[in-house]
Amino acid sequence: MDEKAHDIGRILQQARKSRGLTQADVAPQLGVSRATVAQIETGRRLLKAEDLRRLASFYGCSPSELLAPTPSDQEVDGVAELLRTHPGLAEDQGPSSFSHVCAMARALTDLEAKLEIDSIAHPLPVYGAERANTQWEAARQGYRVAEDERRRLALGEGPVRLVDELLMTLGVRSAKAILPTGIVSISIAHPDHGFLVVVDKNLSLEHCRFRYAHGLAHFLFDTEGPWCACGFDAAPDFTEVRADAFASSLLIPQHGLRRYVETLGKETLARGAPAVLSVFSEGDGRDTTGEGRRVDGRQRKGRHPLTASDVLRTAHYYGTSPSVAAHRLRNLRLLTDPELRRLETMLQSEVHTPTSNELSLPAEVHEMDSLRARLATLAATALHRRSIDGPRFNELAELAGVDEADRERLLAITATHSQQEHESSRPITEAIASPKTKLS
């Protein structure tokens, strides 16, 4: 295989994936089949100069960018490649910038190594799903793995309110940052950054929860390489469909959803179920032959259709957007397609925007920034254990956004009982004034 063709093919593949495109999306631009695009990206087929210009125009870049040499004798830095593909991520925009979040993730990785947390952490499982050939297969994979993860984590059938904290217990960091237009979340798997999901800081709380769960799916299936930028301005590929299905099922489990709908006075057999049921009895299991009984359900109670209020209450209970809740209800055949369209139109119209307030369904007021909180707490712990010195603690506290006035309080509440007894006879400012731990 031509080494240069292989390198160019790898660059073309990265350029395509970074834009959320599939090989089937690219094929018409070159007038070839999807299989031919696959051959080009694997270096088994040479790319003509005219085709290169077409691809550059389609990707919105210059042909030279698609020919940039990539070192073949060393591992490509996934994060560096991400920044080259999306230069806007490298801009310094203060504490809300993507680069600042990455700096916190790197610092946290270093702290966890110093405190030997990484040596006792449980590894994240990887589900080796077969390659999906249709969106239906991709969705089924996402639903199935979400159910498996709920069982593995003993989540039961109730809501998961603090999704970012749940991810942190799995060794997955999550944070919010200013992301370029068209990108709503980024998933990074890198030794220095760990597993990191970054979502756009302008998303609503409900959408952030969904994107955190969406990012977890990419790590569990482990098929996307060192990074994955997820957007909304391109047709989703199978991996995105699978991640969306995983997120919706993880946040709203089907059995729990049925039980919750019943508390609203609605029957979960749904109108899609038969109006007459057949119940069979086995008899005594020896001589008596069993018999079937017809159960007429035409006059059953609870057959009333779901309303906008029901959907809003379901969304509020599970901490998701009304649209996610409505589609989960549709999948359980508790909503018909026409009802789903009417409800979505109603929920998105200006006339009904204050509906949630009228029904006393306020959104959650606050959700902890788990990445910053963990970085600050472990920095204080590392200082107490003398794994880092005072100046380094100050650097990490500033990186985590802890004001100078709050740092002594942070050290006080992270001190162990024995440390507190030893330091109870003098102020905290004196207790941390040794050369190894001086704050100022």
Q: What is the pTM (predicted TM-score) of this model? A: 0.73
Q: Is residue 438 domain-resident?
A: no
Q: Using one digit for the tens of pLDDT, what is the confidence trace for 47-56?
A: 777 788 788 8
On whether both 51 and 118 belong to a single domain, the answer is: no
Q: Which two tokens stand for residue 426?
A: 């003098």
Cα–Cα distance measured from residue 432 to residue 383, given in angstroms and rounded to the nearest whole number: 9
Q: Which two tokens stand for residue 229?
A: 């930028």
Q: Using one digit for the tens of pLDDT, what is the confidence trace for 98-157?
A: 989 999 999 999 999 999 887 677 788 888 777 788 889 999 999 999 999 999 999 999
What range defines the domain where residue 426 resides? 370-431
Lay out the sheet containing 194-200: strands in order across.
172-177, 194-200, 183-190, 227-231
On whether both 188 and 48 belong to a single domain, the answer is: no
Cα–Cα distance measured from residue 122 to residue 8, given in angstroms and rounded to the nearest whole number: 38
β-pairing, 194-200 vs 183-190, is: antiparallel
Sequence-distant (6+) residues with CB within 8 A of 234 are 19, 20, 21, 25
On whether both 195 and 283 belong to a single domain, the answer is: no
CA atoms within 13 A on the CB side of 146: 27
On whether both 259 and 179 belong to a single domain, the answer is: no
**H or E element that contains 194:** strand 194-200
Residue ending a domain, choose from 40, 74, 108:
74
Residue ending a domain, choose from 226, 251, 276:
251
On whether both 95 and 175 belong to a single domain, the answer is: yes
On whether both 333 and 397 belong to a single domain, the answer is: no
Cα–Cα distance measured from residue 85 to residue 13, given in angstroms and rounded to the nearest whole number: 12
On whether both 300 and 401 belong to a single domain, the answer is: no
Cα–Cα distance measured from residue 387 to residue 436, given in angstroms and rounded to the nearest whole number: 10
Q: Is residue 437 domain-resident?
A: no
Report for 38-52, 184-198, 333-347, 412-426: range of highest mean pLDDT: 184-198
Q: Mean pLDDT, to the nearest integer, of 207-213?
A: 94
On whether both 177 and 111 belong to a single domain, the answer is: yes
Q: Is residue 57 domain-resident?
A: yes
On whether both 320 and 295 belong to a single domain, the answer is: yes
Burial class (CB in 10 A: 0-12, 13-18, 19+), 177: buried
* pLDDT greater at residue 76 or residue 239: 239
Q: Mean pLDDT, to the nearest integer, of 430-438?
A: 41
On whether both 402 and 295 belong to a single domain, the answer is: no
On whether both 141 and 108 belong to a single domain, the answer is: yes
Q: With b meaning 16 or more CB within 10 Å and e meaning fewer, what string describes 392-402? A: bbbebbebbeb
Number of neighbouring beta carbons within 10 Å of residue 420: 13
- The CATH number of the domain holding residue 64 is 1.10.260.40
Q: Using one digit for the tens of pLDDT, what is the confidence trace for 306-344?
A: 888 889 889 989 999 899 999 999 998 888 888 888 888
Letter for the amino acid at 352?
A: H
On whether both 125 and 243 belong to a single domain, the answer is: yes
Q: Mean pLDDT, to the nearest integer, of 272-296?
A: 68
- In order of 41, 42, 178, the CA distances from 45 in angstroms are 8, 8, 39
Residue ending a domain, choose from 316, 335, 358:
358
Q: How many domains does the chain have?
A: 4
Q: Is residue 24 domain-resident?
A: yes
pLDDT band at residue 395 under the 50/70/90 scheme? very high
